[in-house]
Amino acid sequence: MGTPIRSGSFRTATERMKLIVGVFIGVVFGFFLGVSLPTLSLSKMNLPSSLLPSFDLTYVEDKYSNLQNRKMSNGLPRSNGTKIWVPTNPKGAERLPPGIVNSESDYYARRLWGQVHEDLPIKPKYLVTFTVGYDQRNNIDAAIKKFSENFTTVLFHYDGRVDEWHQFEWSKRAIHVSVQKQTKWWYAKRFLHPDIVAPYDYIFIWDEDLGLENFDAEEYLRLVRENGLEISQPALDPRSGYTWQMTKKKNDSIIHKEAEEKSDWCADTHLPPCAAFVEIMAPVFSRDAWRCVWHMIQNDLVHGWGLDFALRNCVEPAHEKIGVVDAQWILHQGVPSLGNQGQAEDGKAPWQGVRDRCYKEWTMFQERMSQAEKEYFQAMGITPPNSSTNYFG
Ligand SMILES: *[C@@H]1O[C@H](CO)[C@@H](O)[C@H](O)[C@H]1NC(C)=O
Ligand SMILES: *[C@@H]1O[C@H](CO)[C@@H](O)[C@H](O)[C@H]1NC(C)=O
Ligand SMILES: *[C@@H]1O[C@H](CO)[C@@H](O)[C@H](O)[C@H]1NC(C)=O
Ligand SMILES: *[C@@H]1O[C@H](CO)[C@@H](O)[C@H](O)[C@H]1NC(C)=O
């Protein structure tokens, strides 16, 4: 390291001058490095020499070690002798120099050849996932065509059939994840970690039985942005058969954020299912909302029942930032799919076992949520407000 200093003899004043200027710049550079990355012990870093500037960093380090010592007592990132330790790095990565830490990833497929920076002519900004069985291929093929090249597509295969999908041109560019007999929320918890899907502004986590004739994804997102919706869904065509007024398409609006239900269903007009509510069949999350929702998904409660009522915990104010887009709507076709992947037990049909489990999970989720809230408020010494999972008044 520090080749000019080591070389010793200088023939001309010009050369000496160059060196002095070089050292000066080096000291300044080193100072700022030391200030911004005080934990780095530059002299002992095992870098290829071609990467190092041509001045002696040992000197810089000695000169400023006092400064670093002072910082130690301030609780700032610090150097322990020659070891790297950066408390502000992600947990477990403290030994790495921050410049090398890649704490987030993406679903961008790369090439095995060529220039790295030319791998991705476009970086899709949105992510759409469908949880699919091969029987629904034609519906999914039609659906995918409603999503532009600005979307990364991820298919979760619950029936183990993957290769057959490659009959569709787009399938070769999609990400396929195949684990048999798992649900949408099971996959989402495992394969859509917020740090993995970090580059995407919006994330669609959709069922396979949706009719998208009246839906355009780019236009949908334009409306979502314009109206500041962090969690949304397209309205359901009333012909769909719908469960909640909130998700039913309204004729005379672009979007809506509240609806009227039977009077005893909503404790408050700002509470689900009258507002702050979308269903789990076709939700769209902003990056930030998804980061929160992901944490709320339970590893063992795979059907996600009850999650829709709890989404409002993730955005504030929920009745403003959760809404339904009427201008872009979908048809819920209600094709029995995963239901049939259940198992016949006690003389009950497979779908019955699945449905029973759904209700069971709903109860468990509510209980866990109110328990967690109670514990929190107790620990804080606060009288808890009415539970957010106390749905029906
Ligand atoms: C430095 O590291 C050693 C062992 O790795 C440890 O015993 C010591 O307490 C550390 N000193 C500081 C100031 O962190
Ligand atoms: C994709 O995104 C770019 C940049 O936002 C936009 O100009 C383009 O129109 C989008 N493509 C489609 C099909 O909407
Ligand atoms: C909604 O629009 C349809 C036609 O597009 C019409 O037949 C229907 O009566 C309208 N419903 C309401 C509640 O306005
Ligand atoms: C909490 O719930 C009780 C009944 O369960 C109701 O009387 C009260 O008004 C509620 N309080 C708030 C702040 O919503």
- With a 6 A CB cut-off, is 150 part of the ligand 2 pocket? yes
Instruction: Return the CATH architecture of domain 126-357+362-376.
Output: Alpha-Beta Complex (3.90)
Q: How far is the CA of 227 from the centre of ligand 4 (A)?
A: 31
pLDDT at 264: 78
- With a 6 A CB cut-off, is 213 part of the ligand 2 pocket? no
Ligand whose nearest atom lies closest to the CA of 219: 2
SS3 content of the chain, % helix, strand, coil (to 5): 40, 15, 45
44 phi and psi, to 5 degrees?
A: -100, 5
* Cα 71 to Cα 7: distance, rounded to the nearest angstrom: 35
**What residues pair up with 151 in beta bridges, in sequence order?**
126
pLDDT at 42: 40
- With a 6 A CB cut-off, is 148 part of the ligand 2 pocket? yes
pLDDT at 80: 59
Mean pLDDT by 10 residues, the chain (393 residues): 40 51 48 44 44 44 46 52 90 96 96 95 96 96 96 97 97 96 96 98 96 96 98 94 89 94 83 92 97 97 94 96 97 75 74 90 95 93 69 41
Which of 128, 150, 152 is the best mutation target for the ligand 2 pocket, counting ligand atoms within 8 Å of the beta carbon and taking the most?
150
- With a 6 A CB cut-off, is 123 part of the ligand 2 pocket? no
C-alpha distances out from residue 75 to 26, 39, 91, Å: 27, 12, 17
Coil, strand, or helix at residue 379?
Answer: helix
- With a 6 A CB cut-off, is 367 part of the ligand 2 pocket? no
pLDDT at 16: 53
- With a 6 A CB cut-off, is 386 part of the ligand 4 pocket? yes
Q: What per-residue string of b and e applies to 206-222 under the rule 16 or more CB within 10 Å gives b?
A: bbbbbbbeebebeebbe
pLDDT at 79: 59
Report how far apart the first and last C-alpha atoms of the chain are (Å, whole number). Answer: 72
**Every domain range in the chain assigned CATH 3.90.550:** 126-357+362-376
- With a 6 A CB cut-off, is 180 part of the ligand 4 pocket? no
pLDDT at 387: 57
CB-based contacts of 218-226 (< 8 A; 24+ apart in sequence): 218/148, 218/150, 219/327, 219/328, 220/284, 220/325, 220/328, 221/126, 221/284, 223/254, 223/255, 223/325, 223/327, 223/328, 224/284, 224/325
pLDDT at 59: 42
Q: What per-residue string of b and e applies to 141-152 under the rule 16 or more CB within 10 Å gives b?
A: eebbebbeeebb
130 phi and psi, to 5 degrees?
A: -125, 140
- Residue located via tokens 């006690």: 346
pLDDT at 72: 44
Residue nearest to atom 13 of ligand 2 (CA): 148
Residue nearest to atom 10 of ligand 2 (CA): 150
